[in-house]
Amino acid sequence: QVQLVESGGGLVQPGGSLRLSCAASRRTISSYAMGWFRQAPEKEREFVAAITWSGGNTDESDSAKGRFTISRDNAKNMVWLQMNSLKPEDTAVYYCAAKEYYSDYEELSHPDYWAYWGQGTQVTVSS
């Protein structure tokens, strides 16, 4: 079973940047697809980005395209989400997730298809 721990959240001004980290333990994530989701108060959990086991392919939500970048280092058992040009509507708890295989966007974007989750890290974008 994969254990995931997120870090790097915090308070940032609009237009600023943050880099979220996801550290995996208990087993290697090298064969897993990895992803980021977020959940704002009173809203459903929302897909942000995903990356294949090799890092060779990524998918991002429309709101993340051009601003957020997902990356990974299997040797370090780490995944990151670089977030630039942050907006107040990006405020949410951000979750790291893992699943055993990559799939089409429809399945990637649905939380039910992801097997393992971290506890989340809060990102607040406000002046």
Partners of residue 10 on adjacent β-strands = 123
Residue 55 pLDDT greater than 90, yes or no: no
Mean per-residue pLDDT, 52-60: 92
pLDDT for the residue 102: 86
Q: How far out from the chain centre does Cα 96 lie?
A: 5
CA distance 74 to 52: 11
| 21-50 pLDDT, tens digit each | 999 988 888 889 999 999 999 999 999 999
Mean per-residue pLDDT, 92-119: 94
Instruction: Give the pairing of strands 116-117 and 92-99.
Output: antiparallel
Ranking 25-29, 35-39, 79-83, 113-117 by mean pLDDT, the lowest is 25-29
- Strand segments, DSSP code E, in 46-115 are 46-51, 58-60, 68-73, 78-83, 92-99
Mean pLDDT for the chain overall: 95
H-type alpha helices, 2-127: 105-108
pLDDT for the residue 27: 85
CA angle 20, 24, 93 (to 5 degrees): 40
